Amino acid sequence: MLKKTTKHFASKQFSIFYFLAKNGNRYIKAIAYNTSGNSSFSTITVNVQNLAATILSGAVISRSAVRLNWNAVAGATGYKIWRNGFVLAVGNLLGYVIGGLPNGTHNFKVSAYSKSKQSNYSNLVPLTLTTSGSSLVVNPPSKPTGFGTEDAGETTIGLVWIPSTNDINVLGYEIRMATDAAFTKNVEDIPISNSKQDSFTVIDLLPATTYYFKIRARDNANWSDYSLAANDTATTAMSALLSNEPHSSENY
């Protein structure tokens, strides 16, 4: 990408050219000119504003899928996976499973970026897929624990849990809600995209109605098992006034 700006100084003008290379380096050169003509270009200067490169590792996990993991880069807000000329932005994750790949050798590398900077490529990791390849076990996220309710209101119930972990990256959660313990009546699934979230308030509930909840975690390849279920009752307006204590929850 090339940007040009013009600066005016008395009877002279300067044209300054900015070059932004793919690796994040910024190259600057300038010429001066007046009514008599242009000067020669100045010496090119380099302003390096790169992020550090990450270290990539990978493994074949099935006949058509690979798992990639990389180290965190200070200052990075996201990462891109590069494969044989294709690029996939995966946000601020430190691992990813790519499926649906054809047989053959796939060369992977990762770069980090922020709003104004980017890194050089990581080390290159070649992974070869064959029809005779065996499948490795990819662990799903751990089941969320400590799941319970708190602070029930007239039309709201708060939920809390301990975040899940796994060997790739948790991408988010799904809360299942129903009005019976078997989760067959008025079932609704609530997606949560924040992997670090550990609480959620369900709104627009019916007063004096008991609701049942359970939660599971997901990565980009698997779902965890559901947590133990918890239930609570949206209070009536009168009971909310009479009690300042949070409504208790019960696990099943």
- Please state the domain extents for the chain: 2-47, 56-129, 145-251
20 within 8 A of 39, measured Cβ to Cβ = no
Options 2.40.50.140, 2.40.40.20, 3.20.20.60, 2.60.40.10; which CATH number does 56-129 get?
2.60.40.10
Backbone angles phi, psi at 154, to 5 degrees: -65, -35
> Domain 145-251 class?
mainly beta
Hey, do 56-129 and 145-251 end up sharing a CATH topology, with the first three levels equal? yes
Write down the pLDDT at residue 187: 95
CA 47 to chain centre: 30
What are 153-170's pLDDT values in tens digits?
889 999 999 988 875 678
What's this model's pTM, rounded to 2 decimal places?
Answer: 0.51
> What is the rounded CA–CA span in Å between residue 173 and residue 218?
6
> What is the rounded CA–CA span in Å between residue 70 and residue 165?
16
Task: Name the stretches of the chain with pLDDT < 70.
Answer: 1-49, 132-138, 167-168, 236-252
Which two three-digit tokens encode residue 22? Answer: 């793919």
What are 189-240's pLDDT values in tens digits?
999 888 888 999 999 999 999 999 999 998 877 788 999 999 999 876 444 4
| Alpha-carbon distances of 230 from 169, 176, 190, rounded to whole Å | 26, 11, 15
Residue 2 neighbours by CB under 8 Å, 6+ apart: 17, 18, 19, 20
DSSP tag of 51: B
Write down the pLDDT at residue 38: 62
Write down the pLDDT at residue 19: 52
Write down the pLDDT at residue 64: 84
7 within 8 A of 14, measured Cβ to Cβ = yes
Write down the pLDDT at residue 80: 95
CA geometry: angle 185, 191, 195, nearest 5 deg: 140
CA 48 to chain centre: 27
- The number of residues in the chain equals 252
113 within 8 A of 50, measured Cβ to Cβ = no
> What is the rounded CA–CA span in Å between residue 224 and residue 179?
23
